[in-house]
Amino acid sequence: MTRKERILTAAAFKEADRVPIELAIGEKEKELPICQKIARFIEEQADNFIHIGGVDWGFFGLAGESWQEVIEDRPGLYQRIKRIFRSPVGEFFAITRHFYPDLDNPDFHWEKRHISSLSDLERLTEAERKPCLISLNDYLAGVEQVGESGVPMLGRLHPLGSLVRNATMEEVYGWLISERSLIHRFLERTNQQVGQTIEQLGRQGISGWFITYAHEMFIPPWLGRRHFEEFVLPYDQQVNEVIHRFGGKVRAHCHGRCMNFLTLMAQMGIDSIEPLEPPPWGDVDLKEAKRLVGDRMLLSGNIPCQNFWRMSQEDVRESVKKAIAEAGAGGGLTLRTTGGQAGVSAYLEPEMLTKIVGNVEAYIQAGLKYGQYPIKC
């Protein structure tokens, strides 16, 4: 069975030859001598959804040009970078601060977000909108490159998620109360554009899996169920229906306390969710999640790599065994670590990196051992 077949079998709620094992680390980390076993597993055996091109979502669906410039450099301390996007309705800019000696470390500080006032939101809302730029050649090239090594997956614009991440969070959540009509107009116009774009993709034969990285911003402690049902569910449902109409599937990335939202997410057309964090990072009881939505959503994750720096390898193996025992039967499960890059980072101190790499290797070994069908653990 190929890696692609294995994932799609699990997503169809059937048993493959084994439970799929998702795993990814960064390109810099793949070059580290200590990570060579992991890198080889990813290249040869990991069962991953793989991002490919096909549509340019621009900036909130707006075409334009973007660039960045260093506006202050304090050698040995930090650099400040201005990030500009020029659109048909004017410029939007952000400022970030990056610290020496690791200027390319993804953990940097935002001094200013792109959307910093109501006038910025109004400009976005009233901008002329048409379907985004589609590239059939990029899509076909991506599908060919992935081949049978995984499942190709397109990103899709989530307007509210993009707004939360590109504005000061407390202002956005305040706008949901003080500027409800403006927020709804923004969501109506932008999600209509997203749906029209996906419809054009479908008519060109581009379908398959789509992913969004938004929903973790719409659950506690950020939002409650009432606001989720008002500002998220109807708009996502509308877009997901278009995806399903053309035979596509929807995958959601959602950290945190999503347990009480799983049935709503299934209702609005999400076909797969990850990373399903257990307590204390989230609140997901995998056995209960399987009971509630395990015949409607592919469940992915539940292996808490945020804790790999302190867990023993036996702890990791037991965590994998437990996840498979609770949700592996009948398909519908892929193993996945709950944090980015399984916690592996070139910026870690050597002792911590060694500990985490050993636990990632234990995760792989346990998945291969306990994940064989029929499940016996």
Domain presence at residue 241: yes
Residues 6+ apart with CB under 8 A from 223: 173, 176, 217, 231, 232
Per-residue pLDDT, 106 = 81
Average pLDDT over residues 181-196: 98
Q: How far is CA 212 from CA 13, 24, 226, 371, in A?
A: 22, 18, 21, 28
Cα–Cα distance measured from residue 139 to residue 156, given in angstroms and rounded to the nearest whole number: 14
Structure tokens at 24: 């990814």
Domain presence at residue 35: yes
Residues 6+ apart with CB under 8 A from 183: 175, 176, 231
Residues 201 and 308 in one domain: yes
Residues 103 and 150 in one domain: no
Per-residue pLDDT, 88 = 96
Residue 135 near residue 203, CB atoms below 8 Å: no
Residues 306 and 212 in one domain: yes
Per-residue pLDDT, 290 = 98
Residues 85 and 42 in one domain: no
Domain presence at residue 338: yes
Residues 181 and 264 in one domain: yes
Total domain count for the chain? 2
Residues 6+ apart with CB under 8 A from 139: 52, 53, 54, 154, 206
Domain presence at residue 87: yes
58 CA to centre of own chain: 18
C-beta atoms surrounding 374 within 10 Å: 7
Per-residue pLDDT, 46 = 98
Instruction: With both helix axes pointing from N to C terminus, report the angle between 350-370 and 313-327 in degrees, rounded to the nearest 10.
Output: 40
CATH of the domain at 45: 3.20.20.210
Residues 69 and 182 in one domain: no
Residues 86 and 215 in one domain: no
What's the predicted TM-score (pTM) here?
Answer: 0.95
Residues 303 and 248 in one domain: yes
3-class secondary structure, 23: coil
Residues 48 and 68 in one domain: no
Residues 218 and 282 in one domain: yes
Q: Residue 92 belongs to what domain range?
A: 64-116
Domain presence at residue 142: yes
Residue-wise pLDDT for 190-245, tens only, equals 999 999 999 999 999 999 999 999 999 999 999 999 999 999 999 999 999 999 99
Cα–Cα distance measured from residue 185 to residue 190, given in angstroms and rounded to the nearest whole number: 8
Domain presence at residue 122: no
Cα–Cα distance measured from residue 36 to residue 32, given in angstroms and rounded to the nearest whole number: 7
Residues 313 and 264 in one domain: yes
Average pLDDT over residues 292-300: 98
Quick one: pLDDT band at residue 354, thresholds 50, 70, 90? very high
Per-position DSSP letters for 191-237, written without gaps between them: HHHHHHHHHHHHHTT--SEEEE--GGGSSTTT--HHHHHHHTHHHHH
